[in-house]
Chains A and B, each alone.
Chain A
Amino acid sequence: MDKLNRLTARHLNIIHGASLSHPWLPAINRLGHILRVRQPLWKHTRTIRRIVRFLGKDIQ
């Protein structure tokens, strides 16, 4: 797990199970819809993680 955690911390395109239960996901989904982001939202994972990381609650 340590290895995987280090990998997901280093690589913004790599995530694990905790990402799918991130408490902000419902809000991110809503915001994506409001901003008219095209599906699939996951293709913006790098950008979303950069923003969420800046706000202090990274999705891994």
Chain B
Amino acid sequence: MNVLIVASNRSRHPVPVIPFGACMVAQSAEKAGFRVNVLDLMFEPSPRAAVQCALNEGKPDAVGISVRNLDNNDMQDTVEHVTELASLTREIRRHTDSPIILGGPAVGVMPEELLRSTGADIAALGDGEGVFPMLLETMGNGGRCEQVLQQVPNIALIEDDIFKISSHFTFQLSTDFMVPQFQKWIDMKKYISNFATVPIQSKRGCPFDCIYCTYGISEGRDYRLFPPEEVADSVRRLSASGLRDIEFVDNVFNSPYDHAMAICEDLASAPSGARLQTIELNPAFIDHDLLFAMHRAGFVGVGVTAESASDHVLDNLGKGYSVDHLRRASDAIRSNPVPCFWLFLIGGPGETRETVSETIRFAEHAVRPMDVAFFNVGIRIYPGTPLARIARAEGVLTASPQEMLLPAFYFSPGLGHG
């Protein structure tokens, strides 16, 4: 069975992001015995021509489309990707009758809406490297919709205009696919020459209760951890292969704290030569010991998802930490040589001009010459999140879930319009 996986993300802002999931799924499908090709559209001058060529040459029996983001999450300068995705799916359909399967983080958040808007056949939810090979095998055995729904967990489809979803299953993480052979599937030289970092995950799942976030929906709320020594070995292997700028793309790197600490200590015990980064540190779990261990492990940049320096707004966002935590994190960061990227969200529930001022004062105090404070204005509202319920109750959101494929943002009524 021939399989084509199309990595559809073409955004190069702020940097091109390596299609981690698409490579992982390709590798798992190949290991399961399928002939797999990956078409990465990131640097293709003409996606339509590239798709046509890949379909004509590969004659795939199934086509997977990896969907990273629905939009750029920017209220001020919004770029939506759904129209382009629908057009891509139509183009694929024009050239093949083979089933089209959507996967990737965005699909787990809005599967029905994406299936309806693109006309794709099936949505694979959650861990693609587990679901996709099972799905291919069932379809290869002639399985039709009903069988596929019964036999394959974590998939969704539309039959007779009715949205159907199969049973949920939480896959065990497999270290086989923790780091795919990137060079085999995509043009890594192009990514590296455009300042991309190589992604790695040390865990999946997120138990936190941030009201706007979809990690719990797409990855589950329970942690699934890769063994620290396996993570450290993977970093060393990547670094030895010349891929030295490596970024932990966990939803939160430093929780559980002991897990992050164990990874750092292992890496420090046998230096990898890698330049490590993570943009996802939770301020509640930042202290001198962790930052010292991260520095020794080879971290050259960290990010803190602070969001706000107002206790009232932090409470409303469901962050689970306070401004005191932020201050302690800031003190620890200031006594450590690793540069820090602070992330703030302006416009959450309960935000006022006064709370914005508090956050700005904190940011001005926190940043050193080598640091950055980034302010994101407005919060993307996704269906199924507490923020969507709040926005509807406040009358801020009136769009139907289908209409929310196009970006809808929460911006505190307490701030007026700017």
Contact, CB under 8 Å: A33 / B74? no
Contact with A along B313-353 (1 / 0, CB 8 A): 00000000000000000000000000101000010000001
Contact, CB under 8 Å: A14 / B339? no
Contact, CB under 8 Å: A16 / B376? yes
Total number of B residues with any Cβ neighbor in A under 8 Å: 40
| Chain B residues at the A interface, C-beta cutoff of 8 Å | 12-15, 72, 74-77, 79, 192-195, 197, 245, 275, 277, 300-301, 339, 341, 346, 353, 356-357, 360, 363-364, 367, 369-377, 418
User: Separation in Å of the A60 CB from the closest CB of chain B?
Assistant: 10
Pick from A1, A15, A42: contact of B301, CB under 8 Å: A42
Contact, CB under 8 Å: A18 / B77? yes
Contact, CB under 8 Å: A13 / B74? no
B356 contact set on A, CB distance < 8 A: 3-4
User: Separation in Å of the A2 CB from the closest CB of chain B?
Assistant: 7
Question: Please, which residue of chain A has its CB at the minimum distance from the CB of B13?
Answer: A21
Question: Please, which residue of chain B has its CB at the minimum distance from the CB of A47?
Answer: B369
Q: A residues 1-21 with Cβ under 8 Å of B?
A: 1-4, 7-8, 11, 13-21
Contact, CB under 8 Å: A26 / B375? no
Contact, CB under 8 Å: B301 / A14? no
Contact, CB under 8 Å: B194 / A30? yes
User: Separation in Å of the B14 CB from the closest CB of chain A?
Assistant: 4
Query: Given A13-B369, A42-B341, A43-B301, do A25 and B77 touch, yes or no (CB 8 Å)?
Result: no
Complex CA–CA separation, A2 to B74 (angstroms)? 17
A11 contact set on B, CB distance < 8 A: 364, 367, 373
Contact, CB under 8 Å: A17 / B369? no
Contact with B along A31-45 (1 / 0, CB 8 A): 011000011111101
Contact, CB under 8 Å: B12 / A14? no
Contact, CB under 8 Å: A29 / B300? no
- Residue A46 is within 8 A (CB to CB) of chain B in the complex: yes
Pick from B77, B195, B353, B376: contact of A32, CB under 8 Å: B195
Contact, CB under 8 Å: A14 / B372? yes
Contact, CB under 8 Å: A45 / B14? no
Contact, CB under 8 Å: B373 / A17? no
Pick 16 A–B contacts, CB within 8 A, sort by A: A11-B367, A13-B372, A16-B76, A16-B375, A17-B76, A18-B77, A19-B14, A21-B72, A21-B79, A22-B13, A30-B193, A30-B195, A39-B195, A40-B277, A43-B371, A43-B372
Contact, CB under 8 Å: B377 / A17? yes
Query: Given A3-B356, A7-B360, do A18 and B76 touch, yes or no (CB 8 Å)?
Result: yes
Other 13 A-B pairs with CB < 8 A, given A11-B364, A13-B373, A43-B370:
A13-B367, A14-B374, A15-B372, A15-B375, A16-B377, A20-B14, A20-B72, A26-B13, A30-B195, A40-B339, A41-B15, A42-B372, A43-B301
A38 contact set on B, CB distance < 8 A: 275, 300
Contact, CB under 8 Å: B77 / A33? no
Complex CA–CA separation, A2 to B193 (angstroms)? 36
Contact, CB under 8 Å: A43 / B376? no
User: Separation in Å of the B118 CB from the closest CB of chain A?
Assistant: 24
Contact, CB under 8 Å: B74 / A14? no
A18 contact set on B, CB distance < 8 A: 74, 76-77
Contact, CB under 8 Å: B77 / A29? no
